[in-house]
Chains A and B, each alone.
Chain A
Amino acid sequence: MVNPKDDTGRAEMTGAEMVAQALKDNGVEHIFGYPGGAVLPIYDELFQQEDIEHILVRHEQGAGHAAEGYARSTGKAGVMLVTSGPGATNAVTPLQDALMDSIPLVCITGQVPTTLIGSDAFQECDTVGITRPCTKHNWLVKDVNELAGIIHEAFHVATTGRPGPVVVDIPKDIQFAKGIYTPPQQAPRTSYRPRLQGDLEAIKAAVHLLSEAKKPIIYSGGGVVNSGPEASHLLRELVDLSGFPVTSTLMGLGAYPASGERWLGMLGMHGTFEANMAMHDCDVMLCIGARFDDRITGRLDAFSPNSKKIHIDIDPSSINKNVRADIPILGDVGRVLEDVVRLWRATVTPDRAALGPWWEQIERWRARDSLAYKPNDDVIMPQYAVQRLYELTKDRDTFITTEVGQHQMWAAQHYGFEQPNRWMTSGGLGTMGYGLPAALGVQIAHRDSLVIDIAGDASVLMTIQEMSTAVQYQAPIKIFILNNQYMGMVRQWQQLLHGNRLSHSYTEALPDFVKLAEAYGGHGIRCEKPGELDDKIEEMIAVKKPVIFDCRVANLANCFPMIPSGKAHNEMLLPDEATDEAVANAIDAKGRELV
C-alpha cells in the first residue's frame, strides 16, 4: 500500500486495493477464482501482491467447491472470486451446497458498473437477487467507503453462528473508485447476534434426563465438526463418561472415532442396522448439532416413537422443524457440551450396569452385520475397494472427499474416520461433481497430506476439468473412481421404484480414464482384479502428482442396508434380504412419490 495509514488503520485506497487489504486483514492466504471483465481491477491488485495465493480454477463451480473443501478441512472461511454474469451464476451451486452443509464460504463477485446496473449490460445479472435464497446474507456495494466494512462483516457472518455462504457483489466502478479503508472492528451490526451459551436450566434438565436413561443414544451431526476440535473432544469425553452408544450423520463422521468402542456407525437411509434400530428403540435421544434431515429420520411419524429428545443446535429454526424436541438447547455445540460434561461430572454417579441390557440388545443388532457383502475373487466389489483403500491409507495423514451417489455411501460406511475435518462430502444438496474440486481445495490447504476423492464415474465427469488446475498447482490429489459405468444410485432407485427400467442411467461412452489422466498431465491407473488392488493403491499413493485411479467394480452392486422411502428405521432392507423380488417390492405406491 502506497498510502500512509493513520493510527486507526484507516487509509485512502481504491476499491480493488481494499479487497486485497480486507482479505489479508481477515487472515486469508488462499483464494479460488476465475477472472473476467468485471473483476479485472481486483485481479490487477492480486498480481501486485504476494500475501494471498490465487488458485486459478477451470470453472467457477470448481472454485466454490474447492473453497468449501478448504474451509471444511481447515475450519477457516473459504474464499472464491468470480466475475459478473456467468461467473456469478456458476457459483450458485456451491453457494447452495455451502448453505445446506453450513460451510463458511465468502464469494466475491464482480458486477457491471453502477451506472449500467439494470440496463441488461454485457455479463450483467442480478447477482444479489439470484443468490439471496442460497446465501446466509449478501451485499451489493454501492459506495466505496462502505466496501471494507462490508467485507469484514461478510467474514463475520460467514464464520459465526451457524456458518454459511455469503456474497459481496462489487461493481467495477467501485473497484476503481478511491475511498477510505477501515480495518476490521469488533462492532458488528446489532441485529446479528448468534447465541452461543446454552440455557443452564435446560442443560441441567437434559443431564438429569440422560442420567436416568435406560436406553440412551447420542446422535451427533456436522454441527460438532463446525463448532471446532474442542467440541469433538468434548463429545468423546461425554461418551466415555456416560458409556452411551453414539451414532452420527453423514456430515458428522469423524467427530467420534470409528474405532471407538461406543461407535454404532452412521445412521439414516444407508446407515447401519444397529444405529437405526437403536434410534428407533431408544428412550432418550441426545441430538447434537444435527437437524433431523429426511435422510436421517425415515418415515417421520414412525421416527423414534418412544423417546424423549434433547436437541442442541445453534440455529433456532432447526429446533422443532421436523421433530419436536422435549428439551431444546439453543447454543454453540462446544459451549453447551462443556456445560453438559461439567454437570455430568459434578452430579451424576454413572451406573454402567443399568446400560447392560441396552448394550446387549445393540450387540444383537450389530451381529446382523448389516454392512456385509458377498466377496468375489474375480470382480472387485466396491465395498472391498473402499476397505482396501482404508487399510492402506489409515496410518497416513489422509483426507477423504467424495462425489455423490453409491460410492459416497460406501465410503461413509466402509472408511473409518478417526478425526473431524478429515471428511468432505456434499450432504444436504447432494452435488455430483463436488469431490474433485473439494479435494483440490483440501490439498491447497494441506500440501503434504494425502487427499483422496472417492468418486463415481458419472459424478467425476461433472467437474473433471479441475484436473487441469490440480496439475497446474502441483496438487497431487488422488481421484479414486469406483467405475461401474452406471449412475449407480439412480439405477438402484429405478430398480426399487420403476420396475428395473434403467432409463438413461447407463453411460455408454465413458472416456478412457487412464488416457484422460495422462492428457491432463496427471497419472492414470486402471485396476480390474481384486488381486491387483493393493499394489495399485500403493502405486497411487507413491505417485507425486494428480492421479486418476480407474477402479473397475462390479457393475450391478447396490448399496445396502437401506431404509426404503416411506419406511421407518425398523423397516430396513438388509443386504442378505435384498433379493430382486424384495427390492422390487420394497417401496409402496405412496413411498414412490417421495424423493
Chain B
Amino acid sequence: MNAQLKPTGSAYFIARETETHETRTLSVLVDNEPGVLARVIGLFSGRGYNIDSLTVSETEHERHLSRITIVTRGTPHVLEQIKHQLERIVPVHKVVDLTVVARERGQDRPLERELALVKVAGVGDHRVEALRLADAFRAQVIDANTEHFIFEITGRVSKIEQFIAIMQPLGLVEVCRTGVAALNRGAQGMQ
C-alpha cells in the first residue's frame, strides 16, 4: 500500500539499502476496543511500512480479543522494527511473526488461506469454460442465473490470483477478497 523505498529513519541518514525485502505474515492479538485497528493501520502509514493484506475479527468473545493478520514486506531490519512498534501499542497483547515461527519449525511458511467471491458474466463457450475451470479449482457456485455465476473460492493467495487471472477473459465482472487468514501448523497456539 505504502511504497517503502528507503528504510525508516530520518532523512538525515544517507542510508544505503543492502538488505533484500521479504514478505512476512504477522498475527497480532489485541483488545477489541474502539480505535485499535486505526492505531495499527496508522502505525503502518505513519512510519512508511507496507501492508499487502490485512484481516481482522474478534476471535475470543469472552475476553474481547481480536486477531489481526497482516502480510507485510520489508528488509529484516524494518520487519523487526514493525514487530517492536506494534508491541508498543497499549492494547496489543502479542505479536507473532508466523513466517519466522514456521521457519524455526522447519517449514516453508505458515498455513495461509484467503477466500474470494468472483462474479463472472460470460456467454456461450465462455460460460461453459468458466464453470469447468471453477470445478477444477474447487470453487463453489453460490449464485447464478442465465447471465452470471458467483464463485466462492478458498485457498492460498497464489491460487486465488491464478483463478482470477483465468476468469479475466471469461467475463470477470468483480472480485471481493477477505485478505489472508493464517495460523502456524502444529498443536501450539500463539499464546
Contact = CB atoms under 8 A, between A and B. Distances in A.
Interface of A: 128-129, 132-133, 136-138, 140, 157, 189-192, 293-295, 297, 299-301, 315-317, 319-322, 565-566, 590-591, 593-595
B87 A317 contact: yes
Given A295-B12, A321-B81, A594-B11, 19 more contacts: A129-B38, A132-B39, A133-B42, A133-B46, A138-B35, A191-B30, A191-B92, A192-B90, A294-B10, A301-B13, A301-B14, A316-B84, A316-B87, A317-B81, A317-B88, A320-B80, A322-B13, A594-B13, A595-B11
B85 interface: yes
A319 B15 CA distance: 18
Contact of B9 (A137, A140, A321, A591): A321
B185 interface: no
A294 B89 CA distance: 24
Contacts of A319: 84
Contacts, number: 77
A322 B90 contact: no
Contact of B77 (A132, A137, A320): A320
Contacts of A315: 88
A591 B11 CA distance: 10
A315 B190 CA distance: 23
Interface in B18-42: 30-31, 34-35, 38-39, 42
Contacts of B42: 132-133
A322 B80 CA distance: 12
A129 B85 CA distance: 19
B61 interface: no
A590 B14 CA distance: 8
Contacts of A299: 13-14
Contact of B35 (A132, A566, A590): A132
Contacts of B132: none
B10 A566 contact: no
List 8 A-B pairs, minimum CB-CB distance, nearest first. A294-B12, A317-B84, A294-B10, A137-B90, A300-B13, A191-B93, A316-B84, A594-B12
Interface of B: 9-16, 30-31, 34-35, 38-39, 42, 46, 77, 80-81, 84-85, 87-93
Contacts of A295: 12
Contact of B90 (A157, A297, A316, A566): A157
B93 A190 contact: yes
A12 B11 CA distance: 53
B9 A294 contact: yes
Given A132-B38, A157-B90, A317-B81, A322 B9 contact: yes
Given A133-B42, A320-B80, A128 B35 contact: yes
12 contacts: A137-B91, A140-B35, A190-B93, A191-B91, A191-B92, A192-B91, A297-B13, A300-B15, A317-B81, A317-B84, A322-B9, A594-B12
Given A590-B14, A594-B14, A317 B85 contact: yes
Contacts of B89: 137
Contacts of B80: 320
A293 B80 CA distance: 18
Nearest to A134: B46
Given A132-B42, A321-B9, A301 B16 contact: yes
A593 B6 CA distance: 14
A594 B14 CA distance: 8
Contacts of A590: 14
Nearest to B77: A320
Q: Which of A129, A132, A293 has the most CB of B within 10 A?
A: A132
A128 B38 CA distance: 10
A191 B11 contact: no
A140 B77 contact: no
A137 B11 CA distance: 27
A192 B93 CA distance: 7
A565 B46 contact: no
Contacts of A137: 89-91
Nearest to B85: A317
